[in-house]
Amino acid sequence: MPKSKKPRPPKYTFISITVDNHKARTTAGINFGLLGSARHRTDPDDFVYRYESTIELSGFCHYPEERAGERYEVEIYSSHPNSAERELKVSDLQEHHGDGSPKYKKLKSGTYPIYREAPPIGFMEKKPGESRFNVAIWAAPTFLSDTLTLLTLPEQIYLSIQEKKLYRKRFVTEFNVQNTAPEMD
């Protein structure tokens, strides 16, 4: 009987980017499912009006050194295809037994709940044959408003991304927009 392979642990990378360009767009309109023919399937619980905002930020990586000079194009969206996923509470991530009772781990120091991994806030994709990454992030509308405020400052704007790479997939677990160079400790 062949040995089963041990799953590869994810690799985490801190990425620092200097922003050199940005664009913003905001949209208000009627739900697409209510326009046109009856062929469109609309969930009755969907909202009649849609409000979406997008900020596009681009720049060059300066840390880590092996990625220095690579271009990053980041889109931050205020809406998400599964918006309920963006309103999760820690208790929503607790694992349960088949009968619905919560799972716990017993350690010498006490009993602790067992949580499944939280979904990422975004995804990254390296463009084949290019030194360029596309990044998509979904955030609360207040995050986009705060980002727009930072973009009006006269100082240089920086981004930092915490990337989680598992096999060939790249996920964003943390994203920052700031007017000081990110700490790389």
Average pLDDT over residues 72-86: 76
Backbone angles phi, psi at 105, to 5 degrees: -115, 130
Q: How confident is the model at residue 134 (pLDDT cuts 50, 70, 90)?
A: very high
Residue 183 token pair: 């700490």
Does pLDDT of 117 surpass 60?
A: yes
Q: Is the peptide bond before 64 cis (omega within 30 degrees of 0)?
A: yes
* Rounded mean pLDDT, 152-163: 96
Write out pLDDT tens, residues 19-32: 999 999 999 988 87
Question: Tell me, what's the pLDDT at 150?
Answer: 95
Is 157 buried (19+), middle (13-18) or exposed (0-12) by CB count in 10 A?
Answer: buried
pTM of the full structure: 0.82
Domain boundaries, the chain: 11-86+119-178
146, amino acid identity:
D
